[in-house]
Structure 1
Amino acid sequence: MLLNEYAEHHLDTTFPVFTDEELVIEVLALMEEQALDCAPVLHEGKVMAVVTLLDLLPEQDSIKMLKDLKLDHDESIGLHEHLFDIVARIDSFPCAVIPVSKEDGHYVGVIKKRTLLEKITDVFHLDEDGVTLELDVPTYNLKLSEVIATLEKNDATVLSCGIYPAAPEGAGMVVSFRLQTHDLFRLVTNLEKYGYLIRYTSPFFREKEDEMREKALEVMRFMEM
């Protein structure tokens, strides 16, 4: 499955949705009955807004329709929009679910934010099977391929990586890797010998391995002496 097919494959077509001509009191009753904190609102089959309980409660005794409320206009994501493009603007959707539309703008269902974030975790290997390593590097003359080659030379497998500025006012960059390695301590030690500046690493060992690792460190310190 391609990532631009992810929304379609995880579409929820059963999630409650309302038209803008429905009465506030009726919508509120249904949302409370189904324990919903928000739901899409359609106008002529297209997403007009996402209504929340906070929008409805002040008008619970009125005879207004949804279209009479001052709801913020909300967009939807495309049925075949790429996962990365969706996540890049995920904060613009106030609800725990995101409306999904076809190319012509007509609503087809919703997808849960949690489902999207779980896939991002899978894509970038952010689970317990990987470790994190961040390096401070200069912006000029940065060759990511050389850094990756150094990691692989030290028996590390690069699962994913990203780059971001070291600081707003700084000239450097941070390269963040998600790796698989049998010995993170050895990898970090070797990288430091090569002159790399380590900004962050995952914990070197699990709590149950503390004693074994301490003994190994003592041996290495003794050998250096």
Structure 2
Amino acid sequence: MQIAKDLLTTTLPSITPDTSLECVFSYYEELNILSLPVIKNDKYIGMVMEQDFFDLDLSEGVKSVKLPLSNEEVSVLPTTHLYDCLRIVDEFDVEIIPVVDKENKYHGTIIVKDMMDEVARMHADQIEGSVVALRIEAIHYSLEDLSRWVESNNVKILSAFVEVDTNDAKMVIVTLKLNTMNVEAVLATFERFSMNVIFSSAFAEGKDEGRDRLDNLMRYLEL
């Protein structure tokens, strides 16, 4: 299980409210990142982001301008799960996530790009298996039922991802990673219970009907 404290970077510096604009922009250029955490007395107080500088009045020189702060509410606890960190990224559209404790003491920062690399690594390193995606009415979605049907074929669900269908808010797309390449029996079980399978990696490998299912999945996910 990955939590926030496991994702901290050691390369991104923090700055203080007294850090000069020249220094901030130097960090932006040197580190190829456009956000930095601002710390005062070991407490996180916000970020400085490149976009926050666009409306500043620099007519009297950069030394007369205070650092603009934003996203003061954006942070996670050291024990926050990786998936909740991803939710923060989606909600606030940030490229860094400060990590603080309950007293708001600053522990470090997660760089979102590095976190996404870790997500990709985690999924790539999973046990070999197949992916199956279903389109289900949200009101009828039950992971317990899906697990029972899958396990009735001596197959295990390694991971499950649920998202709202962008074409119909009453529907969800459920993507399952299974621990076997042979999913025909599972698919037959889903069919018996009138589950709408829109993608299976078994179909995608050479079967004509799989192309239609793959196209359907990509359309639903807008990939």
1:63 is matched by which residue type in structure 2? Answer: V
Distance 2:100 2:50 in 1: 23
Asked if 1 retains the 8 angstrom alpha-carbon contact of 2:14 and 2:36, the reply is: yes
Cross-structure match for 1:91 = 90
Cα–Cα, structure 1 residues 61 and 12, in superposed 2: closer, same or farther, change >3 Å?
A: farther
The Cα of 1:18 is off from its aligned counterpart by 1.0
Distance 1:82 1:40 in 2: 20
The Cα of 1:79 is off from its aligned counterpart by 1.7
Cross-structure match for 1:8 = 5
Distance 1:10 1:23 in 2: 28
Write out per-residue CA displacement over residues 154-189 of structure 1, whole angstroms, 9 at most, x where no aligned residue. 34321122445566464x655432212232345424
Distance 2:84 2:21 in 1: 33
Cα–Cα, structure 1 residues 123 and 21, in superposed 2: closer, same or farther, change >3 Å?
A: same
Asked if 1 retains the 8 angstrom alpha-carbon contact of 2:160 and 2:174, the reply is: yes
Cα–Cα, structure 1 residues 165 and 84, in superposed 2: closer, same or farther, change >3 Å?
A: closer
Aligned partner of residue 71 in structure 1, secondary structure: coil
Asked if 1 retains the 8 angstrom alpha-carbon contact of 2:128 and 2:180, the reply is: no
Asked if 1 retains the 8 angstrom alpha-carbon contact of 2:78 and 2:101, the reply is: yes
Aligned partner of residue 77 in structure 1, secondary structure: coil
TM-score calculated relative to the size of structure 1 = 0.68
1:117 is matched by which residue type in structure 2? Answer: M
The Cα of 1:102 is off from its aligned counterpart by 2.5
Alignment of 1:41 with 2:38, yes or no, is yes
Alignment of 1:71 with 2:69, yes or no, is yes
Distance 1:65 1:44 in 2: 23
Cross-structure match for 1:176 = 175
1:179 is matched by which residue type in structure 2? Answer: L
Write out per-residue CA displacement over residues 79-125 of structure 1, whole angstroms, 9 at most, x where no aligned residue. 22233322222234554322112221121211222343345456677
Q: Unaligned 5+ residue runs, structure 1?
A: 215-225
Asked if 2 retains the 8 angstrom alpha-carbon contact of 1:156 and 1:181, the reply is: yes
TM-score calculated relative to the size of structure 2 = 0.68
Backbone CA RMSD of aligned residues: 3.6
Residues matched between the structures, number: 204
Matches within 5 A, 1:1-225: 2-3=1-2, 6-56=3-53, 59=58, 62-64=61-63, 68-74=66-72, 75-121=74-120, 129-137=128-136, 144-164=143-163, 168=168, 170=170, 174-185=173-184, 187-202=186-201, 204-206=203-205, 210=206
Asked if 2 retains the 8 angstrom alpha-carbon contact of 1:25 and 1:60, the reply is: no
Asked if 2 retains the 8 angstrom alpha-carbon contact of 1:136 and 1:174, the reply is: yes
Structure showing greater Rg:
1
Distance 1:55 1:146 in 2: 48
Distance 1:123 1:9 in 2: 13
Q: Unaligned 5+ residue runs, structure 2?
A: 209-223
